């Protein structure tokens, strides 16, 4: 009987999540039923939105269940198939990650055509990370030629790509916020025109200095005071893609935004979105972004952790404000 | 030499506006130059947005200048014309109100075709008031068949019409907030399905009771806690028209909204708007709403004040939370 390890939710976080909220459990791998495939996972995605699923609150995605396996995007290799169209050795992607082995109905598994990309690329720039960045700048709050764009959490996996896609769409000026050394990374490696450290600064002052003529498009990953500062500098007809509110996750005190009236004054639009509503555009996204990757027009970073044991460290490090990680956080398992 | 009275801004309000901020001044009426017309105003519009212009803050419309005439929508009669296409006796509308006589370039004056409506109708349901209600429900956050709709400030001039237009567009359930006796007015006269008094209640609880399945469309005139409560009850794909934030005007303490992340969770859109961006749709609006008025399908109230002296009383009464006025506030001058 084959066994494999999986991360389970040991308890709901009290305030900020801690390592004690996770439990690594060895379970028996069930035999695949008809129409099922067995996948040995080789890359696991660790993403900020998972924090919300640890709480028992209604949200856009169901909470994780206590003492049940956690989930997330993963890439792996089929080791056994009882489903048409899947063969051992095939590379696939699915959303039943944070475990070594997943046994899944064929409908929950998609073949991956690597096309010269590394498997982890399908969790990063060609995965939901890149898809989120592409949707926000393309569909939700489309960047227009000549726009001044502000990306919050710009050194994160999504933010780093969002700023670069904004540029490829014709933005005249791209500004980002991050913390510590990641500020230079934005300008030196990702080609942002300007960036500021949101810690110990007043984001309203920083934006007034860096975007004196205001903002046409905002890609917001963090909410809170940075979103408020961005609202205070909108130009007429500005568009805001509300992607996430990392500053409000993990048991932090909710921040009250006092200047929503700026949306009225500037006839601006704020729109929330979730990638899962847009899978009909996945192929179009992968074709465009895959091309940019092949042409070397997109830079990105990965923070790679080794081994299933490292999941809580990877996850908690990513959530920390001023975290040392930048770019996409991935856990690599032996293939 | 003809003289006429006009209201000027005597000083900027300190906190809430008071009668001392206004000065009624008698001025000499200038002779019309070539291309100008002289209008004796017969109906003056008094609107909440004017409060913002009394402060010296950048907004979507320039602040009023100290010791200069106030402005607003008005209907009047041409008494003298040096412009092609205008003749004495003709009924016109313009935005140089809050005075007895306006001398204006022809480009700033539009002829009004009364078409059986009273002149004040062109400040109310067929004026910017009605146009605002129509745009919010039609263009900005379109009401769809079967929607549950929530209108804040629903007994106000705009809100009263917005709820009724939402119904005419196919809304299944229309809920409004108001204060005091105006709550019954919403249900009994305007055909709202349900209404609550926002004073002394928790708007989140009221909405949970009155809209158990959530809100598809929100027409927000007040901002603050009511907008926050509405955000907490959005359904997937909800649309919010941000029309005004009356709860935040008049020197009141700004309220911090803590749950903007609901826009992301519900993939909802909040869009601010100003009628002046949409004058290309004015004729379309007047045709549709004019038809509804002729067919008796829209109810509305006017609070009419008599004489130029009553402008501050009309204005300050309208701004007061729990004000006795409902519907459109108009000042009538002798024709």
Mean pLDDT, chain B cut into blocks of 10 residues (335 residues total): 94 93 96 97 93 84 92 97 96 96 97 94 96 98 98 93 97 96 93 96 97 98 96 98 81 87 96 94 96 95 94 90 74 88
pLDDT at B24: 97
Nearest CA in chain A to B61: A265
Taking an 8 Å cut-off on Cβ atoms, the answer to whether A264 and B60 are in contact is yes
pLDDT at B251: 66
Q: Does A253 touch chain B (CB under 8 A)?
A: no
Taking an 8 Å cut-off on Cβ atoms, the answer to whether B274 and A267 are in contact is yes
Taking an 8 Å cut-off on Cβ atoms, the answer to whether B267 and A255 are in contact is no
Taking an 8 Å cut-off on Cβ atoms, the answer to whether A261 and B269 are in contact is no
Taking an 8 Å cut-off on Cβ atoms, the answer to whether A265 and B227 are in contact is no
Taking an 8 Å cut-off on Cβ atoms, the answer to whether B263 and A271 are in contact is yes
B256 closest CB neighbour out of A223, A256, A277: A256
Size of interface A-B (CB pairs under 8 A): 103
- Comparing C-alpha atoms, which of B304, B294, B157, B162 is closest to residue B239? B162
Question: CB of B269 within 8 A of CB of A239?
Answer: no
Distance from CA of A226 to the nearest CA of B (A): 13
Taking an 8 Å cut-off on Cβ atoms, the answer to whether B272 and A259 are in contact is no
Specify burial of residue B96 (Cβ count, 10 A radius: 0-12, 13-18, 19+).
buried
User: What is the phi/psi pair of residue B42, to 5°?
Assistant: -115, -20
Positions of chain A with pLDDT under 50: none
What's the mean pLDDT when you consider all of chain A? 94
Disruptive mutation site among B272, B276, B277, B279 for chain A (greatest number of A CBs within 10 Å): B272
Task: Note the pLDDT tens digit of each residue in A128-164.
Answer: 999 999 999 999 999 999 999 999 999 988 999 999 9
Nearest CA in chain A to B278: A267
| ipTM over cut 0.95 | no
Distance from CA of A292 to the nearest CA of B (A): 28
Task: Show Cβ contacts of residue A261 under 8 Å, excluding neighbours closer than 6 positions.
Answer: B223, B242, B245, B248, B272
pLDDT at A198: 94
pLDDT at B291: 96
pLDDT at A324: 61
Domains and CATH numbers, chain A: 3-123+301-332 (3.90.180.10), 128-276 (3.40.50.720)
Disruptive mutation site among B224, B265, B268, B273 for chain A (greatest number of A CBs within 10 Å): B265
Task: Show Cβ contacts of residue B142 under 8 Å, excluding neighbours closer than 6 positions.
Answer: B169, B217, B239
Question: CB of A314 within 8 A of CB of A307?
Answer: no
A264 closest CB neighbour out of B245, B258, B259: B245
Q: Does B330 touch chain A (CB under 8 A)?
A: no
* C-alpha distances out from residue B28 to B1, B71, B103, B306, Å: 7, 17, 11, 23
* CB < 8 Å to B255, chain A: 256, 258
Task: Show Cβ contacts of residue A286 under 8 Å, excluding neighbours closer than 6 positions.
Answer: A126
Nearest CA in chain A to B242: A264
Distance from CA of B143 to the nearest CA of A (A): 17
Taking an 8 Å cut-off on Cβ atoms, the answer to whether A264 and B256 are in contact is no
Q: Does B238 touch chain A (CB under 8 A)?
A: no
- Comparing C-alpha atoms, which of A110, A92, A55, A44 is closest to residue A318? A44
Q: Does B273 touch chain A (CB under 8 A)?
A: yes
pLDDT at A325: 60
* CB < 8 Å to B142, chain A: none
* CB < 8 Å to A136, chain B: none
Taking an 8 Å cut-off on Cβ atoms, the answer to whether A272 and B272 are in contact is no
Taking an 8 Å cut-off on Cβ atoms, the answer to whether A260 and B277 are in contact is no
Question: CB of A200 within 8 A of CB of A229?
Answer: no
Q: Does B251 touch chain A (CB under 8 A)?
A: no
Q: Does B139 touch chain A (CB under 8 A)?
A: no
Taking an 8 Å cut-off on Cβ atoms, the answer to whether B248 and A242 are in contact is no
pLDDT at A247: 74
pLDDT at A61: 79
């Amino acid at each position: 009987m084959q066994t494999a390890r999986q991360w389970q939710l040991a308890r709901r976080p009290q305030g900020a999540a801690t390592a004690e909220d996770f439990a690594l459990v060895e379970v028996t791998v069930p035999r695949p039923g008809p129409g099922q495939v067995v996948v040995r996972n080789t890359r696991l995605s660790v993403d900020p939105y998972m924090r919300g699923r640890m709480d028992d609150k209604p949200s856009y995605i169901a909470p994780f269940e206590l003492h049940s396996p956690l989930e997330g995007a993963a890439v792996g290799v089929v080791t056994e198939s009882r489903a048409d169209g899947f063969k051992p050795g095939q590379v696939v992607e699915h959303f039943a990650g944070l475990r070594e082995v997943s046994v899944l109905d064929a409908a929950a598994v998609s073949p991956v055509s690597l096309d010269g990309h590394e498997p982890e690329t399908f969790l990063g720039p060609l995965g939901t990370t890149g898809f989120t960045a592409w949707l926000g700048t393309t569909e939700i709050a489309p960047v227009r030629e000549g726009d001044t764009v502000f990306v919050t959490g710009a050194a994160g996996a999504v933010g780093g790509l969002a700023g670069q896609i904004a540029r490829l769409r014709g933005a005249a000026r791209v500004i980002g916020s991050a913390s510590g050394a990641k500020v230079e990374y934005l300008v030196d490696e990702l080609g942002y025109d300007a960036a500021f450290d949101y810690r110990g600064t007043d984001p309203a002052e920083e934006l007034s200095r860096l975007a004196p003529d205001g903002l046409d498009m905002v890609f917001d990953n963090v909410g809170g005071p940075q979103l408020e500062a961005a609202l205070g500098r909108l130009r007429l007809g500005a568009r805001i893609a509300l992607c996430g509110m990392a500053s409000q996750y993990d048991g932090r005190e909710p921040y009250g935004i006092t200047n929503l009236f700026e949306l009225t004054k500037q006839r601006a639009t704020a729109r929330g979105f979730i990638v899962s509503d847009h899978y009909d555009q996945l192929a179009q996204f992968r074709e465009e972004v895959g091309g940019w990757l092949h042409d070397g027009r997109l830079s990105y970073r990965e923070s790679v952790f080794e081994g299933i044991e490292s999941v809580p460290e990877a996850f908690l490090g990513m959530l920390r404000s001023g975290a040392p990680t930048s770019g996409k956080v991935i856990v690599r398992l032996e293939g």
